[in-house]
């Protein structure tokens, strides 16, 4: 009877030990999976930031001394202009696809990139001859891409960073000066600012609704360039900065 009891106890100990082994292995697998998920998230964050920080395309920027650089570069044929806002991180080639989703996840070379490209609304004329042209860019951390637009929601900053250039065309022979004059939040469904070829008088609308506005009567009536980026998360709110296009 005693031996039978010992055998039962021994069997119970073996079963318990196996269960402990399985439990430890399960915990180890869960730990490895969680570790791999964290590792992937860190890599993904680094990858997106690294691509957003990539300024290798700057060597293809047209200049008065070398106006045809972009025409001979690996930058996609969808290139329409080069946008610069002085003393900010905004210094990018601007693309234009057949729709407004193409360059959400393609870099200026036409390669996949979560940070995408800066791109002109597909409805606008590529030569910026429309009364109102609209350019989009992802809102990236540390002022990358159009994350730099956040700073313009401050009147002092807007006044101190109000100049820029628009170098139009692959040959870079057409150069417009830009004058930043307003910034605001707007819903992505607001056709007064997000239907660039349908808006009747964006200048009047911006003057009335901008959160920060600098009066420039000498430039009234000139063509306008809008720069748009997301405001936060999945919200439909956008940040917009407006510039006059000066001949």
Its pTM stands at 0.79
Higher pLDDT, 227 or 5: 227
Return the closest-CA partner of residue 136 out of 173, 189, 83. 83
Its CATH architecture, for the domain 58-246, is Beta Barrel (2.40)
Give the model confidence (pLDDT) of 148-202 as tens digits: 999 999 999 999 999 999 999 988 889 999 999 999 999 999 999 999 999 889 9
How far apart are alpha carbons 14 and 37 in whole angstroms? 35
Read off the pLDDT band of 241 (50, 70, 90): very high
Q: Quick one: 200 exposed, middle or buried, by C-beta within 10 A (0-12, 13-18, 19+)?
A: exposed
Annotated domain spans of the chain: 1-53, 58-246
């Amino acid at each position: 009877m005693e031996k039978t009891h010992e055998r039962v106890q021994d069997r119970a100990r073996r079963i318990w030990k196996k269960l402990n082994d399985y439990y430890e292995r399960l915990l180890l697998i869960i730990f490895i999976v969680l570790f791999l998920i964290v590792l992937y998230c860190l890599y993904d964050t680094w990858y997106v930031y690294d691509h957003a920080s990539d300024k290798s395309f700057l060597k293809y920027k047209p200049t008065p001394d070398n106006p045809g650089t972009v025409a001979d570069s690996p930058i996609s044929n969808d290139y329409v202009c080069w946008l610069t806002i002085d003393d900010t991180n905004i210094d990018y080639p601007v693309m234009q696809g057949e729709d407004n989703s193409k360059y959400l996840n393609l870099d200026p070379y036409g390669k996949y990139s979560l940070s995408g490209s800066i791109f002109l609304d597909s409805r606008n004329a590529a030569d910026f001859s429309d009364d109102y042209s609209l350019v989009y860019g992802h809102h990236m951390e540390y002022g990358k891409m159009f994350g730099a637009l956040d700073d313009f929601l401050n009147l002092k900053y807007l006044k101190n960073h109000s100049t820029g250039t628009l170098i139009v065309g692959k040959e870079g022979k057409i150069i417009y000066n830009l004058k930043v004059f307003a910034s605001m939040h707007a819903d992505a469904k607001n056709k007064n600012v997000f239907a660039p070829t349908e808006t009747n008088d964006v200048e009047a609308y911006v003057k009335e609704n901008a959160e920060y506005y600098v009066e420039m009567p000498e430039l009234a009536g000139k063509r306008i360039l809008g720069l748009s980026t997301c405001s936060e998360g999945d919200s439909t709110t956008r940040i917009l900065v407006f510039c006059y296009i000066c001949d």
